[in-house]
Structure 1
């Protein structure tokens, strides 16, 4: 009988879903006999989940400092803190519904909300199948911490140390990197040091088109270097319309795009990426050895991602946006700095993360190895 793996994510931003899809695609490729599904834990048919997602996005837009306060407060919580318990109690019925509908043999989470709910069900004797967490940021947050989770797939040593320091055995923690689409391994970065053409500057704000994209495009109009600017608005139609208006007056060639499946190609040809610090986008950029300029990170986890990436030497933070043009001019005039950033990105990148995770999940569910020890 075919084994079933259910990947449970949440569409708060697009990165968590993209990570789940990347693992699913690799599982389908290497283990076609396995039945694999991805579900959105906060899909719009569930009114409570939709409300939570909309509340999160509204806080980021209207009350970013309040969201940052709540995020930092929850970071200081102990493993049994109320924030996780409340999340679990609110969402346990949704998880029970998914379990009844899909009847999986294994659960894999790319967002902490369903992870909290499943851990609660395990603690209360309502769930007993293997569970894995794929952590989709460069920093640790206690919302992910549950002794009921059998395996953790994480981005770096720092998260491994944090998990271990909170009681998770090292043999349950695997430093795989953050899973990105396999097509990023199939599009090697161009040799930009030999590119004599006009440098391309890629500006992105994730699937939701968040961050100071419009401000970045305006700032680059004052750059002394001739540039090609590619601005990706994602699913943000309002932003796309604003950018198209700017295109008429841009002194540099400006290409405006909505949601696209060609991010790997755009990154492979770019000299710099200007973006907020979503972990999926940044992991994709690392795979393409693409230097990062981080503008207006969202509060909370993206702020922590920005700190990690700058400390690693693969990114620079820029604030306010009007200083962007002078920084781009300086970097493009100093190729040795960009070369050093590309080298560090190469060392930090883990483009095969989805494949490594899929291999371990497949081997475990088919009893070829035992990465899921008893809780």
Structure 2
């Protein structure tokens, strides 16, 4: 069985992390499965992908408010309409069809809305008959994601499922609340109990792989003699790493980019709380670790919308940059009433999940007995597996409803 994963862009992101998590879950459990991850932008035109990546990073850095406005007016309008890419669709549909011809996948998993939209277009037009799954990477669904041409939707929460059913009249049987997939390295039950009872609390501070956010300003006024020590993930932001080292604060440890999941998992296990941005995957990892979450900043667009959801659900605490970080952390970590309130919010969040991601992976693998045949479309053989989704749907119906992560 061959599964094609479609994120977008080459730069590190939640779209790649979700794809990698699912790939490892599948390949670790089945020797006969082959997974491949392809960024459609760089596959179509490497120079174009580099240009768009640079423009995006400069846009959110220099004029974030205009990006936020554009995102909410074109990609998250809360209407019934798809976000339109008429000028680009024809070009990328051509390259997507070429990719499908080359790879001949039995199943496609989209972890970004744009390739999902294109796959949906091809299926709705009857140009391909390959099963497609959407694996969402934020706590909401934007207008870019494909809908009617997609066989299964792995959604982050009940609110998204309700939105899809009520706004788009989609069949709820094919919308599964799995949460945002995280790598199984972070799902080990015993790891959650490994934190020590040290009176000095360890706080993990993260700004994403690029080390974004005013972390120097956040940490500068902390008290070296307080009950907190800080481990700061600088990502690939070498300037941030140097700035923190120059401060020479005894209670602060600045760490460069960490690629190893095992090392990241150990940091999660040492931490008593995390201060971060509201990226879908990082927040989901912290929730799986039952770490109290404080948000220091949010990128425009997706992260601001994530923050709105998380705040309403009482899952995160927003940091006031004008007030002492030490005091804000102490308010939750030393307050039994607030701790109980937060724990109840966590329990509600996981209770809403219908099928854990690992169970969904097993469902996909057990649907591996397929009725396969080939048809000739636009000059090449495209595999058609009409049996895989019907078998998957039948198996999913038999899965026990689980509230475990």
TM over 0.5: yes
Greater mean deviation of Cα atoms: 303-312 or 343-352:
343-352
Question: What is residue 217 of structure 1 aligned with on the other side?
Answer: 219
TM superposition shift of 1:223: 7.2
Are 1:50 and 2:75 counterparts?
Answer: no
2:317 alignment partner, SS class: strand
Equivalent residue number for residue 370 of structure 1 = 391
Call closer, same or farther: CA 1:313–1:180 in 2, change over 3 Å.
Answer: same
Deviation, 1:174, is 0.6
Q: Indicate the residue corresponding to 1:288 in structure 2.
A: 289
How many aligned positions are there? 367
Q: Does 1:15 align with 2:14?
A: yes
Tell me the residue number matched to 1:360.
363
C-alpha displacement at 1:113, in angstroms? 1.4
* DSSP 3-state at the match of 2:169: coil
Contact kept, 8 Å, 2:180 with 2:281, in 1: the verdict is yes
The question of whether the paired residues in 1 share the 8 Å contact of 2:42 and 2:48 is answered with no
Conserved 8 A contact 2:199-2:227: no
Q: Secondary structure at the match of 1:10?
A: coil
After TM superposition, the structure 1 = structure 2 runs for residues 176-325 of structure 1, keeping only pairs within 5 Å, are 176-186=178-188, 188-190=191-193, 195-219=197-221, 221-222=222-223, 225-246=226-247, 248=248, 250-261=249-260, 262-320=263-321, 322-325=323-326
Unaligned runs of 5+ in 1: none
CA distance 1:297–1:253, change in 2 (3 Å): closer
* Partner of residue 62, structure 1: 62
In structure 2, the residue matched to 1:127 is 128
Distance 1:144 1:63, change over 3 A: same
Larger Rg: 2
Give the TM-score, by structure 2 length: 0.82
Q: Paired residue for 2:77?
A: 76
CA gap 1:31/1:149 in 2 versus in 1, 3 angstroms: same
In structure 2, C-alpha distance between the alignment counterparts of 1:26 and 1:191, rounded to whole Å: 24
| Deviation by residue 1:49-78 (Cα, 9 ceiling, x = unmatched) | 222222222111011111111111121264
Report the RMSD for the aligned CA atoms in angstroms: 2.6
Give 3-state SS (helix, strand or coil) of 1:299's partner: coil
Compare 116-125 and 142-151 and name the one that shifted more. 116-125
Conserved 8 A contact 2:133-2:153: yes
CA contact (8 A) 1:106 1:365 kept: no
After superposition, the C-alpha distances for 1:161-196 in whole angstroms (9 at most, x for unaligned) are 11112121101101111111101112522365x713
Q: Secondary structure at the match of 2:274?
A: strand
Q: 1:96 to 1:54 in 2, by over 3 A?
A: farther
Relative to the length of structure 1, the TM-score reads 0.89
Gaps of 5+ in 2: 371-387, 395-405
- Does the CA-based 8 Å contact 2:134-2:152 persist in structure 1? yes
